[in-house]
Structure 1
Amino acid sequence: MTTGTGADTAQPRPRGRRRARRAERPWIDPRDLWSESLAGVLARPVRSALTTLGTVLGIGTLVITIGVASTAANQIVGRFDALTATSVSVVVPAPAPGSTDPALVGWRGVDAVERLAGVESAAALSDSQSTANVQVRANDVVAPGELSGQTLAVVAAGPSLPAAVRGTMATGRFYDAGDIARHERVAVLGDQAARLLGIGDVRHAPAVFFEGQSFTVIGVLGGFRREQRLSTSVILPPTTAADRMGLKDVTRVLVNTSLGAARQVARQAPIALAPGHEDALTVVAPPDLSKARKGVQGDVDGLFLVLGLVSLVVGAIGIANVTLVTVMERVGEIGLRRALGASRRQVAGQFLAESTTIGLLGGVVGAALGVVVVVVVAAVKHWTPVLDLRLALGAPVAGALVGLLAGLYPSLRAARMEPVDALRAPS
């Protein structure tokens, strides 16, 4: 009986102690915690503003770097696509020596290519090893002690060559179908060739001399975005080149396509140029740039992401330092709260809430500032801004998380203070 009574009387005591412990350390209402943390932040407005500024700079730098990096990568890839992903070349093999078979591709074969869907411009080109290094002079008088001329390449091309190489006439004009039909002895110089020969103006019909023949220069072609080697060449009409230089057969066809149509045109162009003999032609088409695009954007994003994270860490260290200083300055307040019944968890929660509030405010302001800067930079550069909505929405959350992590150690230190020691500490 005695043992049973002792057991019965001993059972309620732990439950009573647990209830007493819960009564001594009640959970604080979230609204009260928010109001206390906000009061703590506003109690020192200048310090809080400076602390928030560190987070603003960190989050703002993160948003700016990633936004500008994405915008720049998109611009780089777009230009790369425009210059490379739309260029197709068809190489025509030279006929066997002594062969009487007709050429696989004629000068009029380009017309069939231009009718293909997605083709913007096309031009036939003829060159050879024998005309790759020709002595060209700007006059027919050879003076002692002076250079006799320049070594340039001589090529034949169709009248649509300026569009095919995406060039512009620096001066004069390009020969037309009439010049070709009349076998006119005219020439167009590449801009570098004209500079080497000292020809800058064609209004007075200057002439160039090579292979014992003269040709009237009617224009200078420059601004090559394809086939830059033609800038140091003398370009002749097909009929004139066949008569005077032996350049009769088409060796290459240059094709420009709309963005995204290059692969299709590369399959169809040989059939249009040489029906039934398309396998004899070699097509040089641009590679698939999807992997290159992702690689460029990933590399640029990764570089700027590291810079943004470094700035964010600097802001987090600033929050941690200021929060720790605040804890040391409010030792008396912490002791009073502990003496009035506040638990360690409640004290830690208050300081965590204050640091999180500072981080959240800094995240909101930094994200807004970063978006504005990205848009302004893109507008100044005439780019299309590329902004990830997830980044803009996640930046405030990242700021709050940074503030939470930065305030973790100071909050734990405040929670470990004993009420008696805190009240005895000098204020």
Structure 2
Amino acid sequence: MKRATRHAEGAERPWMDVRDLWTEALAGVMARPVRSALTTLGTVLGITTLVITIGVATTAGNQIVGRFDALTATSVTVTVPQTPPGLDDTGPLVDWSGTDAVQRLAGVDSTAALADSPAFTSVQVRSSNVNVPGGTSAQTLAVVAASADLPAAVRGAMTVGRFYDAGDIARRDQVAVLGDQAARLLGIHRVEDAPAVFFNGQSYTVVGILGGIERERQLSTAVLLPPTTAADRLGLEDVTRVLVNTALGAARQVARQAPIALAPGHEDALTVVAPPDLSKARDGVQNDVNGLFLVLGLVSLVVGAIGIANVTLVTVMERVGEIGLRRALGASRRQVAAQFLLESTTIGLLGGVIGASLGIATVVSVAVAKDWTPVLDLRLSLGAPLAGALVGLLAGLYPSLRAARLEPVDALRAPS
């Protein structure tokens, strides 16, 4: 649609509205479909890479943090000093039965008490009391006293035999449970024949092997004894640590209540290690991962922009005659620049739409293949086409200005 505007000199010049500009721009793009498709491909690859990298990074970061939540955000550890200040003559600060009070707290899944000492972190343990040439030599292992509910507290499971129970503790049986790595080092794989381990001049019958330990993994290389047996034979009497597993979201509340339940009136003497605020950790992980992949996506996008600029410039040089004819028929420099600018913007917009669609489809496919929950930022999905259009706009600035500077006479004289 052509309209006329009157200049100060009284001459009329045809004026092209926005719809006409879009029509001319689309005609210019469709006039060379193969070249336009190849040019759009650069933007498609850039936008697709951008969406995929950010989408997959966000999804993977959410999965990593989710696992971090499950394994770490539910663990509370209470450390008990060996010599409680002001309580030397009144007995231990935390009794072995104190975990029962913690177990009754809301949100607590499992608890266990441990007693260890620097004197028993490196004990020479043998699976035979007789030195046999070629036999299993002594292994340096830790010896720890633990309550009967330890397997659940360390998220482990008995791979062989059983864990000692309340009856073993009450009878003060001279039994032991080995961590799976300790059992491997000692060459013990079965307990049907009642194998024994020997250290400090005493023997202990192995009744089970504890494996799959996810928390306090150093216990996989330890010898675990009932509290009463450890107190009688080794002097390991006082609880030094209490392990607490909570429901997700209850850890911080349990961390405040557990010392009171374990040592009423002396809770300040206990040290509690609670999970940090994972909302900040989640943001930090995702921001770091997103920042890394954002740079890679932007590099791809810049490559696409250079392709658009190069092809648009070549198009301007090929259409010098057309530009001269338009100028001769009354088109202004602004109109010529706007036409080529809209052509490059249209190419960028098409590339953004196609790239965003391919990127979203890829992110969802990866999430399905990995059995993850896809996480897509709506702002990224909607902003990708606009980013493509912006790339096309910026890439077409120089070619458009060059086309606008061509004089009609010079353009018409140029070879076509």
- Fold match (TM-score > 0.5): yes
CA distance in 1, matches of 2:289, 2:213: 29
Q: Which amino acid aligns with 2:8?
A: R
1:74 aligns with 2:62: yes
Match of 2:142 in 1: 153
Which whole-Å deviations, capped at 9, do the CAs of 1:8-50 have from their partners, x for residues lacking one?
A: xxxxxxx9851634x22x3202222111111111111111111
CA distance in 2, matches of 1:142, 1:116: 50
Provide structure 2 residue ranges, at least 5 long, that are not aligned to the other structure.
none
Deviation at residue 203 of structure 1 after TM alignment? 3.0
Give the aligned partner of residue 37 of structure 2.
49
The offset of 1:236, in angstroms, is 1.0
Aligned position for 2:255: 266
Q: CA RMSD in A?
A: 2.0
User: SS where residue 27 of structure 1 aligns?
Assistant: strand
Equivalence map 1:283-298=2 (5 Å): 283-298=272-287
Match of 2:188 in 1: 199
Structure 2 residue 379 is the aligned partner of structure 1 residue 411: no
Output the CA distance in 2 between the equivalents of 1:297 and 1:141. 57
Identify which of 387, 391, 400 aligns with 1:402.
391
Q: Bigger CA drift: 261-270 or 92-101?
A: 92-101
Q: Are positions 1:32 and 2:32 aligned together?
A: no
d(CA) in 2 for partners of 1:103, 1:280: 12
Identity of counterpart residues, as a percentage? 78
**1:232 equivalent in alignment to 2:214:** no
Amino acid corresponding to residue 318 of structure 2 in structure 1: E
Which position in structure 2 is the counterpart of 1:91?
79
Structure 1 counterpart of 2:45, one-letter code? L
Amino acid at match of 1:199: I
Does 1:20 pair with 2:10? yes
In the TM superposition, residue 424 of structure 1 has moved relative to its aligned partner by 1.2
User: CA–CA distance in 2 between the matches of 1:19 and 1:298?
Assistant: 60
Higher alpha-carbon deviation: 178-187 or 321-330: 178-187
Distance 1:413 1:203 in 2: 90
SS across alignment from 2:218: helix
Contact 2:84 2:269 in 1 (8 A): no
Match of 1:119 in 2: 108
Task: Report which of the two structures shows the higher radius of gyration computed on alpha carbons.
Answer: 1
> Counterpart in 2 of 1:9?
none
Find the aligned partners of 1:142 and 1:68 in 2 and give their Cα distance. 58
**Aligned runs of 1:331-410 on 2, under 5 Å?**
331-410=320-399
Could you tell me which runs of 5 or more consecutive residues in structure 1 were left unpaired when the two chains were aligned. Answer: 1-14
Instruction: Confirm or deny that 1:163 pairs with 2:152.
Output: yes
Q: TM-score when scaled to structure 1?
A: 0.91
- 1:20 is paired with a residue whose SS is coil
Provide, for residues 168-207 of structure 1, a one-character-per-residue CA deviation record: whole Å limited to 9, x for no partner: 2222221222222232222110111111101122233221
- Kept in 1: contact 2:136–2:187 (CA 8 A): no
Cα distance in structure 2, aligned partners of 1:79 and 1:284: 20
- Corresponding letter in the other structure for 1:307: L
- Mapped partners of 1:281, 1:120: distance in 2: 21
Instruction: Find the aligned partners of 2:319 and 2:88 in 1 and give their Cα distance.
Output: 100
Q: Name which of structure 1's ranges 290-299 and 96-105 shifts more when overlaid on structure 2.
A: 96-105
Match of 1:12 in 2: none
| Cα distance, 1:159 vs structure 2 | 1.4
Give the aligned length. Answer: 411
CA distance in structure 1 between the partners assigned to 2:9 and 2:414 by the alignment = 32
Tell me, in whole angstroms, the C-alpha distance in 2 between the residues paired with 1:19 and 1:167.
92
Q: Partner letter of residue 205 of structure 1? A: A
Contact 2:306-2:395 within 8 A present in 1 as well: yes
- Helix, strand or coil at the partner of 1:143: coil
TM-score after normalising by structure 2 = 0.94
Residue in 2 that maps onto 1:303: 292
What is the DSSP-based 3-state SS (H/G/I as helix, E as strand, rest coil) of the residue aligned with 2:16?
coil
CA distance in 2, matches of 1:20, 1:324: 35
CA deviations 1:100-120 (Å, max 9, x no partner) are 422221111101101111111
**Residues of 1 paired with 2:6 and 2:22: CA distance?**
32
- Pair 1:210 & 2:183 matched: no
